[in-house]
A and B are shown apart, each in its own frame.
Chain A
């Protein structure tokens, strides 16, 4: 009965490091979304899965960003060679129908 969970909640990385952010969706939710939220702004869409299929990755800002959901449940967002502009909150959401349920986000700070 738990909601969407994300880990870690906070991540500090040195510029150039790779990071991996995890999302555990609500059990049974087919759809999973990743969003990036800069300070003071609304979430920006990154990518979307339906089960294990990545149906839309149009929002990924560069080829340094990669997301996967190999078994159709847990998803990982990986950012390679992090840059300072990658600093943001990364939100995961899952849904079974219309309503998206969001996790608390991972706050990434790249120094």
Chain B
């Protein structure tokens, strides 16, 4: 069956450093990928997305890279701040405009001051 997974359940970085969070997926039919941030007691918050016809997409302080050959997705956060501390999930969809998202289990990012 399909699955979306993250390589590491926890990541600890120093404030100001760059963070890289990785995700592997198994469904080659996936055509849309999303990164979410979830803070304690809140629902997931959209960070950035990427379609399967792209390799890289940049946002404000965040970059998502997609390697379809090895079915790997990564989220890079530049100049990590204490407010970035949260659980990060990757998710995939087969259709960009409809249908469910399949989530991985999350990476907990801790930013040390």
Interface Cβ pair total, 8 Å cutoff: 57
Complex interface: chain B residues within 8 A of A59 (CB): 100
A side interface size, CB within 8 A: 26
Q: Are A98 and B41 in contact (CB under 8 A)?
A: no
Q: Are B106 and A41 in contact (CB under 8 A)?
A: yes
User: How many whole Å from A5's CB to the nearest CB in chain B?
Assistant: 11
Interface stretch (choices A14-22, A43-51, A63-71, A73-81) = A43-51
B side interface size, CB within 8 A: 24
Of residues 93 through 113 on chain B, the ones whose CB sits less than 8 Å from some CB of chain A are 96-106
User: How many whole Å from B25's CB to the nearest CB in chain A?
Assistant: 12
Q: Are B43 and A105 in contact (CB under 8 A)?
A: yes
Using a CB–CB distance below 8 Å, which chain B residues touch chain A? 4, 32, 34, 36, 41-46, 49, 89, 91, 96-106
Using a CB–CB distance below 8 Å, which chain A residues touch chain B? 4, 31, 33, 35, 40-45, 48, 50, 55-56, 59, 91, 93, 97-105
